[in-house]
Structure 1
Amino acid sequence: MGVTARETGGGAGTIIAPGRLRRTVLVVAGLNLAYFFVESGIALAIGSVSLFADSVDFLEDTAVNLLIFLALGWSLAWRARMGKVMAGIILVPALAAAWQAFAKVSHPAPPDPLALLLTAGGAAVVNLACTLILARLRHHGGSMTTAAWLAARNDVVVNLAIIAMGLLTLWLRSGWPDIVLGLIIVVVNVAAAKEVWEVATSEGLAARALAGEEID
């Protein structure tokens, strides 16, 4: 069925065609997948915890947007369920960052600052583009488009932090800033997952109310 603002909390009377939503998230998925290969390759080559965590985040964003592409025509109740699944998906980069940080603690060699800065700068451009693309649609697909927009928005912040960390690494010649930022990425993704879960829970309650079920 069509997705209306009345169902998802957007502006009153606004109707966004499902086809437009699908095309939008498919473009965003393509951008994320392309940069995943770029960033993951460079991260592994230079041994950067934060850059690797961010590259996994691009893969997570690809999955989220592809799931949105498939699920936009579903009912409010099923979209709420998918929103909770996406909350779990958002935690994947957090686990990857934690694993990389743990592995590097025993040998905190600094990553190549120049390669890190250039790669993080490219990531910021891609994520900012995705944020702007999704911004006008984020209230019109329920928790799923909220998940996609939140992920892109948080990624821009993370990319700017990686750039700042790269400058610090260039000055200190230490791998510890990279490790610390990797752990911060864990916190950012956990917070995003919590927010998406809360939105999905609200949608689930709304679906139950529309179905005439009693809500405790």
Structure 2
Amino acid sequence: MEKTLFEITKMDCPSEENLIRMKLQGVSDIKNMLFDIPNRKLTIYHSGGIDQIEKLLGELKLGDKKIKTEQTEEINFAENSNQRKLLWTVLGINFLFFVLEMVTGIFSKSMGLVADSLDMLADSFVYGLSLLAVGRTLSRKKQIAKLAGYFQIVLAFIGFLEVLRRFFGTEKLPNFSTMIVVSIFALLANGICLYLLQKSKSKKEAHMKASMIFTSNDIIINLGVICAGLLVNWLNSNKPDLIIGTIVLILVIQGAMRILKLGK
């Protein structure tokens, strides 16, 4: 048995972890995977060569780099029986806030909230794909990934069109107080999701650090929408809201492209 340590520079939240798990799901040589999200490290326990694993990780373009491979005597890996339940929990939280942010974003005229709701939907896709992939054939898993990825791109494209319409139009100012309050709740929801997922890990990885939460793109996005809300009020302009909305939509597109890679 060997274990190989990877550095995954773009693995900053559980969504990337689930993408990696799905990508490597069919590799029979892999016996166990340990994720260290705060330090962006992945340890893979495997038998046989590492070439196929490196190739599959490279296809995700998450900035993977092999650090070292060494022999290990560890052969007993405890399975987490609550993993499926936790995935359903975080999926539910993300989907709930997708609906909440979409509805409040539409009524408050905030593209930042609408775009962040699509980011929440993207995370829901990833967790949902992880659940659907269990017990499915490889071809079925690829079909599901393609469908989710293309649907996400369509939604982001519609979002870009709306940003352009509001930029050149005379849309009313977004409600800055709604932007701030809803984003604070979304930030707390993302923190809960991260905590629940990390709680399922071994004792070494179970201790949640505040620095880990703030390295998550989702947390940064929530803070960005809050700042945009403050700037909307201060500058009496909708431009900060449109800017943060555009940034988030770009991140949604990047997430969709990663999902589509699973369908290849």
> TM-score with structure 1 length normalisation?
0.69
**Equivalence for 1:126:** 189
For residues 99-110 of structure 1, the aligned pairs below 5 Å read 99-105=161-167, 106-110=169-173
1:63-104: CA deviations, max 9, x gaps? 442332222223556545544444434435522421321231
Conserved? CA contact 1:124–1:160, under 8 Å: yes
- Stretches of structure 1 that go unaligned for 5 or more consecutive residues are 139-152, 205-216
RMSD in angstroms over aligned alpha carbons? 3.4
Greater shift after overlay, 62-71 or 118-127? 62-71
CA contact (8 A) 2:82 2:200 kept: no
Larger radius of gyration between Structure 1 and Structure 2: 2
Unaligned runs of 5+ in 2: 1-24, 35-42, 46-74, 202-215
AA aligned to 2:163 is A
SS for the counterpart of 2:135 is: coil
Alpha-carbon distance change, 78 to 102 in structure 1, aligned in 2, over 3 angstroms: same
C-alpha displacement of 1:16:
6.8
Structure 2 residue 92 is matched with structure 1 residue 30:
yes
Alignment of 1:112-191 (within 5 A): 112-135=175-198, 153-191=216-254
Structure 1: how far apart are the matches of 2:33 and 2:140?
17
1:137-171 per-residue CA deviation (whole Å, 9 max, x = no partner) reads 79xxxxxxxxxxxxxx4322211110111111121
Between structures 1 and 2, the one with greater strand share: 2
Q: Secondary structure at the match of 1:73?
A: coil
Give 1:88's aligned residue. Answer: 150
CA distance in 2, matches of 1:57, 1:69: 19
Flag the 1:43–1:25 CA change in 2: closer, same or farther, 3 A.
Answer: same
Larger CA deviation: 81-90 vs 64-73: 81-90
1:34 Cα deviation after fit = 2.2
Query: Deviation at 1:117?
Result: 0.4
- Percent identity over paired residues: 25
Amino acid at match of 2:153: L
Report which stretch shifted further, 39-48 or 74-83: 74-83
1:191 and 1:110 map into 2 onto residues whose CA distance is 28
SS in 2 for 1:26: helix
The structure whose residues are more often helix, as a share, is 1
State which of 57, 60, 73 in structure 1 corresponds to 2:119: 57
* 1:6 corresponds to which of 9, 26, 30: 30
Q: 1:189 to 1:36 in 2, by over 3 A?
A: closer
Q: Which residue of 1 aligns with 2:12?
A: none
Shift of 1:180: 1.5
Alignment partner, residue 69 of structure 1 = 131
